[in-house]
Structures are given as C-alpha cells and as structure tokens.
Amino acid sequence: MFAADATAEDRAGTDVLPAVQALSEQLGHKVVTSRPIREQHANITTYLPNEAPDAVVFAESVEDVQATLAVCRAYGLPVIPFGTGTSLEGHVNAPLGGVSLDLSRMNRILAVHGEDLDCVIEPGVTRKRLNEELRDQGLFFPIDPGADASLGGMVSTRASGTNAVRYGTMKDNVLALKVVLPNGDLITTSRRAKKSSAGYDLTHLFIGAEGTLGVITEITLRLQGIPEAITAGVCPFPSVGDACNSVIETIQSGIPVARIELLDEMQVRACNAYARLGLPETPHLFLEFHGTVAGAREQAERFAEIAAGHGAGTFTWAEKPEDRTRLWQARHDAYWSVLPLRPGAKAVATDVCVPLSRLAECVMETKRDIDETGLIAPIVGHVGDGNFHTTLMVDVTDPADMAKAKGFMTRMVERALAMDGTCTGEHGVGQGKMKYLAAEHGEATLEAMRTLKRAFDPQNIMNPGKIITV
Amino acid sequence: MFAADATAEDRAGTDVLPAVQALSEQLGHKVVTSRPIREQHANITTYLPNEAPDAVVFAESVEDVQATLAVCRAYGLPVIPFGTGTSLEGHVNAPLGGVSLDLSRMNRILAVHGEDLDCVIEPGVTRKRLNEELRDQGLFFPIDPGADASLGGMVSTRASGTNAVRYGTMKDNVLALKVVLPNGDLITTSRRAKKSSAGYDLTHLFIGAEGTLGVITEITLRLQGIPEAITAGVCPFPSVGDACNSVIETIQSGIPVARIELLDEMQVRACNAYARLGLPETPHLFLEFHGTVAGAREQAERFAEIAAGHGAGTFTWAEKPEDRTRLWQARHDAYWSVLPLRPGAKAVATDVCVPLSRLAECVMETKRDIDETGLIAPIVGHVGDGNFHTTLMVDVTDPADMAKAKGFMTRMVERALAMDGTCTGEHGVGQGKMKYLAAEHGEATLEAMRTLKRAFDPQNIMNPGKIITV
C-alpha cells in the first residue's frame, strides 16, 4: 500500500499503471484518468483534503462492477464506490489511491409496485428524480438529507434528514439490496415481503457500511402514499432552550409530526438574507404535519398549545404548496446561506445526536461553547430525533483557526457521548470521524467491526481508510 | 461432534462429562443435568423431535454467561441460549448436545427512560411483565407475538405479531444490545440516541440471529406512549378473498391501523367454541385503531367504508377494555382453540409472508390446497403485513399423515417464494426451515451468511445446526 498522499504519478512503476491498463482493456471508454475528473471524485466538501483516485470507472451494469472488482482484486487496488459526492466526511477520498467506481450511470428505476408501496431501483438514482417519477402515482420516498444524493450513497451512509422523525432513516426504509461482494459474488439480501425472519439480516449489514463491504447494485425501497393533507409553518421562540423543550414535549405526546427543524437566531438571520424569508431573528422551529385534513389540523393545534406553553410567538402557516416549497428550500439551503457570514471561509458541518431528553441541554451547552470560543457557527437540527448540526465557518488556511474549530468539534462529540449520544447521527464516519469510534463504542465492539470487515474483504480493497482500520 | 440423536449417556467417555463437571465447579447449583429439566429446555412445540441438551445452566449475570462460554470453548461444547422455549422451529433443540443457557433469571428491568421512550432490560424479561411494569407510566412495548416470550428470544427470532402492521417488528424496535460474543468479549452495539451512522450496524446483526452468533445479555427497546384512544372490533366477510382485499385497500390508503388480523371460518368456529365469542361462522377481520379520540374514530370509519365495498357484514365494536382484552385473548388462544378440532393430533404452525398485493391470491390458493389435500388447518394472519399462518392438525405417529402435512407445508413455502415472499415472516428458521433457505436466498447469499457465522463463531459452538450449516 501507498502513503496517504501519494499520487498516481508517485506510484508509477508500481502495480497501479498496469491495473489501470487492465481496466481500460476490459471497460474501454468507461475508464477515465484525467486529473479534473479524478479530483471531482474525491472529497469536495468540508475541510478534509481532496485525495484523488488513480482512475474513475463509470459503471453501467453489474457486469462492469464485477469486472472492476476482478481487476482490483488481482492488483490489490482499492475500490471506492461513488454516487454524487455529496457526503461530508471524506467518504469518497482515495487516501491509498485506487479506483473510484462511479455508479451514477446505473440510474434506472426498474419497477414501481404501487400496490405494495415499494420500488426497485439502481443505486445511481437520486432522491429528487425518484420523487419526480413517483409523484404521478401518488407516492413518495420520504428520506430527505437535503442534498440531491444518490440512493446508493444514502443507503451507504445510513442517511436521514428532515422527515426521519416520522418516517425513520434509511435503515427503516430499505427492504432489500443486491450487492457485489469483494469476492465478486452477487447476493440478494432479502425479498419484497414486508417482513421476514429467514436468516441473518444482510440488508442492514450494508446500510451504513460506506462501501467498505461491497458495492450496492440494486435497492428495493419502501414508499409512502402522498398524504391527503400537508400543513407546514414556522414558529418563533425566545430561546433555543424553549424551542427544544417544545420539541421534547411534542414527541413525548406522540404527535406524529412529519418535520420539526430547529434554526437558531444566527441561522434564521442567514436564511433571511439568502432566501428573503423575513422572519423575526430569534430561534425558530420549521414544522410540517401529514395526515387526513382533520388529522393534520389536530396535530398542528396540539403542537401550538405545547409551543405556547414554552413562550412561542405567533405560528405562521405556509398554506400554499409553493410557500411550503420555498420554506423547505430555505431550510435545505442552510449550508449555502451561511457562506456569506464569513467570506473566504469554508463551511464545516458537524453532526451529533443525543437521546431526546438531553437535547435542550446539549444544544444550549454547544451554543455557550460557540460563544465562548468565538466561532461563527449557526445551529440547525432534525431535533425531533435529538439530532443537530453546527455549520462552522473556518479559515482552513489559518492553523490557529483550524485548531480552534477542531477543539470545538471534539468537545461537541465528547458532550454528545457523555449524554449517551453518538458522534454522527446521519453523516457517517468516513475519514473524519474514525477517531471518535473507540470512545463511542469501546475496543471490543470495534474489534467486532473489524471481524466483519476482514471476513468480507480480506484483501482490504473496499474503500480502505474509512470507518475502521483493520 | 456427535450424531444428532446421541444422548449424554451415549457420549459418556467423551469430553461432555468433564465439560459438565467443569461447569459445575464454576457455577455450582446453577448447573442442572436432570432429564426432565434438560427435556424442558429442548423443543416442546410442533412436530420436531425433542433433542435435549446435556446440561442446563441458569445464568444470573453476564459473568455467568462468560464463564459458561469459556468452558464450552475449551471443550468444544455447543451453547444454546434459552428464554421461555416458546419458539416454533426447534430453535432450542440440542441436536449435537451441549449446554442450554437459560437466561430467564436475568430478568431485571434496568432502566425506564420515559422521556426518551426507551427502556433497558435483561433478556429474560417477558413481554407481558414488561408491559405490566410500564403501564403506570403510560407506556407500552408494542411487539406481541402471542406467547409470553422473553424479549431476548423475541430479538433472536426477529419476532413480530399483531401490532407489527403499525409499530414494526423487533428489527424496528431495538435501539441497542449488549452481547457476549463466542470469544467471550462483551460488546455494546449502539447507544441510546434514536439514530446513528457510527459504523457497522451490529444491532441488526444479532436481531434474528437465533443465538448462533452470540448471547444477548442486555436490550435497549423503543417504547410507545399508550394511545389516548383505542378502538377495537370485528367484521365478518363473505370470503377470505373479500377480507384480504379489504386489507390490501386499507393499507394502500395509508390508514395507520394498529391491528388487522384474519381468521378464516374454521378458525372462527374454533374460537367460538373455545372462547364463546358467538360470531357468525364466516371469515372475519379483528381490528384495532390507535390515536386521538377523533383520529381513531376517523380511521375506523374509513376502514368501514372500504370493508363495505367488499361485502362486509356489520362491524361489531368492543367498546369496553375488558371486551377488547377478551377479543385479543381469543385471537392469541387460536393455537389452543384448534386442538379440540382433532383430538390427539399435534398443532403445527406454518408461517409465510408475501408482498401485500399477492396476499388474497396466496391465502386463497392455500385454502384450496387445504381443501384438496383434506387437512384440518385453520388460517390466521397478521394480514396487514402480508403474513399468515395455518395451524395444521397432524397425527405425528402416522407416517402417511405426516407425509401429507409435509407436502402441504412445502407447497405453502414454494407458493410464497414464487410470489416474492419468504418462508418465514416471524417464526424464524431454527431447524425446521433450514431446507428452504437456498431456494429463498440463493447459494451466494447463503455463503455470505456462512462467512458471517464463521467469522464470529469459528468453533461453531453457538447453537449449531440452526439457520445454516457451516
């Protein structure tokens, strides 16, 4: 293996060039080695350096995936599955070189079973395109991480987002997978029946495995019927603590809220500037209720009562579909909206999740830390799940600034872990969070993860240098 | 290893007796070798023969579990985790002898986090006891397989039951596990945060693993608030086809029904005789709706409209809690109620699950098969999930009768598989369904399951002879 910062040129004379040649012989024009394409296939978000692969293979079929793996096995070359490159923790970097296996051309919707509320797709389908295709049939796929990610990538990072509080995360919405294992075998993890007790749960083995155990080539997803009524709106609060305590009480009351998102006052200010929302610049919850007409109204009324008990201001409804779209677009654009807060700086997304009862405490301590450390770091969160993010504006060229940011990020994770939480609610481990896993899981559990990895990928060719080292 | 029918006496002179002695030295009175106790710890349900272990260890702590495993590793002796023995496919049999590791004394409720809707328990807690302890706090655990099973056993078989259509199965309701691995390591699979992307999903690895990968010693479960309103009732239909088509339309309409159970006319007759329900002897759906007062009423009204479109008779409500309890007790006693249908015969439960769109077809073909084969086999089902059972009354001493029953069981599985279904929706594989897994999953997938098993249990001491052979 090579040093993490070795380039393909550094490795000339090793097995890399013959391996790439062997790939080209088999896959022809689907193999690309130009530097811009290679760099686009490594980390392009956050503070992590871009570590480009030696080549990119644009797979168009299961056979292409198997052919790529066969060559990479023969030459011991890393394989890094790639969807849209929107992951945040360096998941698609190539620290040891190798092949980025781009699955975006495997983007067919193979079947929509409206009667069974499921569909079968290839991994390169993105969530927006899927929902466009489903809309006419009155169906939708609820998981919504913000970015227009590929479903293969969303499976691989166990993604979630704004709707997870009601519909669960990717772990709750995948019925079955087809996966090419490192040894080349194509396996089917389950069938379309809604439940099964027929042996080990291979489906969940690959959900969240970040491409380190195999390459997903087909996904069977659970779908939802588009609700009869959708009601959305925003509600201001005197403080993030009041907003969080409203969330805790809402969830504990069993109100099946579809979305309940926190934006602190700095984030509201940024969204106002970016999307002209015209909101009062205090912490807000953005909400959405799904149900029958009467049911959605009842949910909203119950929430309003709870919020009033925590000092909430006037609830503003987004009655029309276009107002609702504008609202959620503003929420999804939170990342872009913060960039003008510190021109030239990079936006670094953090991601912790704690048990709901600790949410208010964790958010408030984090806010105090931001203030004391003197950071520009708006807070947003899928707070119904106890999950929140800060978007740190960091000058990555300034070592002092980076050190300050890293210290804050570590404290944020330590705080979540001390509250029985996790270092990542939805972004995944990638490269960025490997260092926290021992504290989160303990050494025996990490060793069990290594046992899994070694069993399925004894050559360590699948996305090495991510999640755990073996 | 020994022949499947070898007794401890047959194996005298081998390593078994010294192993049992070593266990007794370490665990004293917790080790029991009397024949009645050993036989009670093997299969006591269905048609599979009782294959007793060599000894039973009544573990009281994680340390007892680890001590048992240490001895069994040293002597290569099988370890069979045991909860209440209510599983149906020979999961607790000891075909190769060994130690039944009885976890029923590890039955403490360690914590109830009402604010977070979760609790932490030991594996020997049974579901009824858990719900008794939770009731005062307005909470309940929804998974309900009928029998008063231990939660450890329910995790291990990926159990579900009547409420799964709304609340999911065990796979959807376990947040974290502590597990002693075959090598003795105690691991914690996850934390209490509601979601996480922090590495491989070890939680789901052990859900449904039937004790073949390790011993579960602690479980963190998701809980639900007891709904404000619970409405239950029964609805007669002209045929099972009409009942099934009502179910399909109800689920497709997104009505969040909490229970929707099919009983065919033979099962209704049996329940009438056993529980004096006084129902008309036609196919019925038993239903329950959870929600706010208005919400539960709205669900029931929408269902009634759908059912009317499929020729349903008059809906009868169980208004009072005691009527509701009586109704569900009658449903849960379905197994006992069929025994008088053929005195002296054994009741053999089957269990398939198909995509919802195929449910009516699968149930009707199965019914035709029952009639043509001349079997006494009432049908019950958790039909909202596409899952149903027949309870075959078989004279296990009559080879011709057994052959007829086995032929029917095989056809039932083949029918489900041909419809993209599974050979077991909730009972698990155990010994009884190993023969169907190759047809269900394919050889490459079975080999992936073997890879898992070998990685975690290289000595093959954990519940060998279940799920897959390695």
* B260-303: pLDDT as tens digits: 999 999 999 999 999 999 999 999 999 999 999 999 999 999 99
* B112-162: pLDDT as tens digits: 999 999 999 999 999 999 999 999 999 999 999 999 999 999 999 999 999
Strands B346-349 and B316-318: unpaired
Task: Name which of A180, A187, A188, A200 to mutate to probe chain B: the one with the most chain B Cβ atoms within 10 A of its Cβ.
Answer: A200
Cα separation, B207 vs A291, in Å, equals: 32
Tokens describing residue A115: 């009667």
Looking at beta carbons, which residues of chain A come within 8 Å of B442? Answer: 187-188
Determine contact, residues A462/A213, Cβ cutoff 8 Å.
yes
In B147-166, the residues whose Cβ lies within 8 Å of chain A are 157-160, 164
ipTM exceeding the 0.85 mark: yes
Cα separation, B169 vs B151, in Å, equals: 12
pLDDT score of B5: 47
Closest Cβ opposite residue A164 in set B116, B195, B292: B195
**A187 and B CB contact within 8 Å:** yes
Looking at beta carbons, which residues of chain B come within 8 Å of A429? Answer: 197-199
E strands, A68-214, are 79-82, 99-102, 109-113, 118-121, 139-140, 174-180, 186-188
Q: B427 and A197: CB-CB below 8 Å?
A: yes
Tokens describing residue B72: 């069994």
Q: A386 and B172: CB-CB below 8 Å?
A: no
Q: B191 and A421: CB-CB below 8 Å?
A: yes
Low-confidence ranges of chain B (pLDDT < 70): 1-14
Closest CA to A123 of A201, A40, A165, A180: A180
Amino acid at A219: I
pLDDT score of B13: 47
Task: Name which of B119, B158, B169, B197 to mutate to probe chain A: the one with the most chain A Cβ atoms within 10 A of its Cβ.
Answer: B197
Cα separation, B462 vs A167, in Å, equals: 36
Looking at beta carbons, which residues of chain B come within 8 Å of A426? Answer: 195, 197
Task: Name which of B162, B163, B194 to mutate to probe chain A: the one with the most chain A Cβ atoms within 10 A of its Cβ.
Answer: B194
Looking at beta carbons, which residues of chain B come within 8 Å of A168? Answer: 172
pLDDT score of B4: 42
Which domains does chain A possess? Answer: 16-105 (3.30.43.10), 109-225 (3.30.465.10), 229-336 (3.30.70.2190), 344-418 (3.30.70.2740)
Helices B62-75 and B16-27, axial angle in degrees (round to 10): 160
Residue with tokens 């001390």: A418
Low-confidence ranges of chain A (pLDDT < 50): 1-5, 12-13
Looking at beta carbons, which residues of chain B come within 8 Å of A157? Answer: 197
Q: B225 and A254: CB-CB below 8 Å?
A: yes
Q: B200 and A253: CB-CB below 8 Å?
A: no
Q: Which residues contact B13 (CB under 8 A, 6 or more apart)?
A: none
Q: Which residues contact B286 (CB under 8 A, 6 or more apart)?
A: B232, B233, B234, B259, B260, B261, B263, B327, B328, B331
Q: What is the 3-state secondary structure (H, E, C) of B370-410?
A: HHHHCCCCCEEEEHHHCEEEEEEEECCCCHHHHHHHHHHHH
Q: B386 and A194: CB-CB below 8 Å?
A: yes
Q: A181 and B445: CB-CB below 8 Å?
A: no
Looking at beta carbons, which residues of chain A come within 8 Å of B172? Answer: 168, 172
The CA R_g of chain A, rounded to the nearest whole Å, is 22
pLDDT score of B18: 94
Q: Which residues contact A123 (CB under 8 A, 6 or more apart)?
A: A83, A103, A106, A150, A151, A152, A153, A155, A216, A217, A218, A219
Q: A424 and B197: CB-CB below 8 Å?
A: yes
pLDDT score of B145: 94
pLDDT score of B1: 39
**A227 and B CB contact within 8 Å:** yes
Task: Name which of A117, A137, A187, A197 to mutate to probe chain B: the one with the most chain B Cβ atoms within 10 A of its Cβ.
Answer: A197
Residue with tokens 């029904």: B257
- pTM as predicted: 0.96
